[in-house]
Structure 1
Amino acid sequence: MSDNLIITIGRECGSGGRHIGQALAEKLGVKCYDKELLNLAAKESGLCKELFETHDEKPTSSFLYSLVMDTYSLGYTNSAYMDMPINHKIFLAQFDTIKNLADKESCVIIGRCADYALADYPNVVSVFITANEDVKIRTLMERHKISESQAKDVMIKTDKKRASYYNYYSSKRWGDSKSYDLCMNSSKIGYDGVVKMIQDFVEIKKGYKK
């Protein structure tokens, strides 16, 4: 376990979470890991990259969470791991990659239960980004060049998948303010405002002693 500064960002679809994470990383002079995390996990685990892309932040099939984490504690060479469904192998590979990144460098990590994976790390700041529904729909319409109804469908389905993934693998609830250090509405203060608030929080946390 290291003292590197890690900022994890959970986000609603269309809220600008990825843009905010990238802008924040640039301000802090560190790397931002989003889809890049999938490539790293594939490389470190030896599993096919396409499998990570297919299962990225997707709901799991019915399988006991306790078995997954028991397997994680025992390592990848036991028979339980060998018989495990591929989606759980992918989760464990990402779990390890997130911890390895946190041990090596300060960085910003988007989604993928990073806040839960690093719950025991002292210098983690967990953030959740939301936005007003009309703003999210407009953002998705512009980003993907789709209709309003299509954008709303994308938003609902994506958030449902992210919530299912997070709620299954973590001990917290996706989007619940009690699950994060900071929850912000990017519609209210803009992306730059959110970045500044996170920076301010980090500085205050550094100087705060319990």
Structure 2
Amino acid sequence: MDKIIITINREFCSGGNYVGKQLSEKLGVPFYDKELVNLAAKEAGYAEATFEKVDEIATNSLLYSLIMGVHNSTQTGILPDNDKLFAIQADIIRKAAEKGSAVILGRCSNYILREEKKLLRIFLKGDMEHRIARYEKVYGKPEKDSIETILEKKDKKRASYYKFYTGNRWDDINNYDLVINTSKIGFDNTTEVIMDYINKMN
């Protein structure tokens, strides 16, 4: 198989992690999700928990307008943790793509790697009732907010993060090659649809 980079952006609880892992296994290529946070923390000399708190959350600093300009940790010393994490993750994402094929979940990867010759940009969404059921299955019933409120807050944070670092709308279909409602066909069939798409690309 020729080198291909697959990026997956997703609504919360629409199956992004599940589908990403399945694609990784079927294609025999690395899958990057939380590993990006861990690698970034190690490179910056931070505890993983520090970066986990700000992962995919836009900075509150108006002084920082990175948009892909920082390429190594020595340049990030004065940045807020959010921006430092993004800068290091962007560098790690680029390096991962240089090594070969990969599946990368979120973190503006479709934008960071927009110059890649063979890039498949995917957005996964789902009907609210299915996402609520998925949340309850994975996380259980919340003590405070309703599940719908939690999902909406999470999506809003992802949208803000994407807008801040790319200047684009997270849910704009023009930023993607393939948009799938996983509620309609399920996670496994979603994986198969993407695999078929990749085979036709080849």
TM-score, scaled relative to structure 2: 0.90
Paired residues of 2:127 and 2:181 also in contact (CA < 8 A): yes
Q: Which protein has the bigger helix share? A: 1
**Distance in 2 separating the partners of 1:4 and 1:44:** 26
Q: 1:96 aligned to 71, 75, 91, which one? A: 91
| Aligned positions of 1:48-197 closer than 5 A | 48-64=47-63, 66=65, 68-69=66-67, 71-72=69-70, 77=74, 81-146=76-141, 150-197=146-193
State the shift of 1:16 in Å: 0.8
**Distance in 2 separating the partners of 1:65 and 1:30:** 34
Cα deviation code 1:3-46 (max 9, x no counterpart) = 73111100101111111111111111112111111112222333
1:35 matched to which residue of 2? Answer: 34
The one-letter code of the counterpart of 1:183 is V
Cα deviation code 1:36-76 (max 9, x no counterpart) = 1111222233333222211111122142554x247526x65
Cα deviation code 1:83-128 (max 9, x no counterpart) = 3222111110000010011111311111111111101111111100
**Distance in 1 separating the partners of 2:40 and 2:118:** 22
What secondary structure sits across from 2:79 in the alignment? coil
Change (3 A) 1:47 1:192: same
Change (3 A) 1:144 1:119: same
TM-score, scaled relative to structure 1: 0.87
The two structures, once aligned, show a CA RMSD in angstroms of 2.1
2:20 matched to which residue of 1? Answer: 21
**Distance in 2 separating the partners of 1:194 and 1:60:** 33
**Distance in 2 separating the partners of 1:76 and 1:31:** 23
> Aligned pair count?
200
What secondary structure sits across from 1:82 in the alignment? coil
Paired residues of 1:65 and 1:169 also in contact (CA < 8 A): no
Paired residues of 2:12 and 2:131 also in contact (CA < 8 A): yes
State the shift of 1:145 in Å: 1.2
**Distance in 2 separating the partners of 1:70 and 1:146:** 38
